Amino acid sequence: MPQDETTLGQEPAEPQAPQAGDSGNDNEIAKLRAEAAKWRTQLRDAQKQVKEYEPLAKKYSDLEEANKGEAEKLAERLAALEGQLSQAQAQATRADNERKLTVLATKAGVPADMLNYLDVTKFDLEDEEATVLALSALVPVRQTNSGTSSNPARTNAGADGMTAEEWYKDRTGQKPTGIFGR
């Protein structure tokens, strides 16, 4: 490097005037040196401005980080609220389906104590006829009388095969006495 060029941090040197005996290149060199000195001066001014703006840039980046953190917090809260909403909707749907199943089970004649054992997801609640038919299979079979009266006082033999007198003796331990003193 030539001796008259300055490095960063030093003041620019004054361009030298061409000496006698130099050719036209010396004028060109002087112009280039003057231009380089001008650029070095502008560089130093720009570096000073950068140093002035560095704290502002840091504050701006900190604010962006804080805003980004706030946005992330809001996004998490929104996701949590959406989860709660979908959970509440699922519970409402399940409660409505259980209500429909209870109504259909009542139509089919299913005892109330069996409703706890029914799974709502196993029935097609949109097809009420099919659901009632399926639920009717759960209705306990009622025992019918086999032609005998269940009231032993009405006939000679009750459902258990005893006559009215035998039944009375079995229950009370006494022989029945008739109205007319038999």
Distance (Å, whole) CA 156 – CA 163: 5
- Residue 20 CA to residue 64 CA, distance in Å, equals 62
Identify the CA nearest to 108 among candidates 121, 93, 123, 91.
123
For residues 54 and 50, give the distance between their C-alpha atoms in angstroms, rounded to a whole number: 6
Place of tokens 């039944």: 167
pLDDT tens, position by position, 150-182: 554 555 555 566 677 777 777 777 776 666 555
pTM: 0.41
Can you give the residue ranges of every domain in the chain?
A: 25-136
Q: What is the residue-averaged pLDDT of the chain?
A: 78
User: Shortest CA distance to 56 belongs to which of 68, 45, 64, 44?
Assistant: 64
1-15, 28-42, 155-169: the lowest-pLDDT one: 1-15
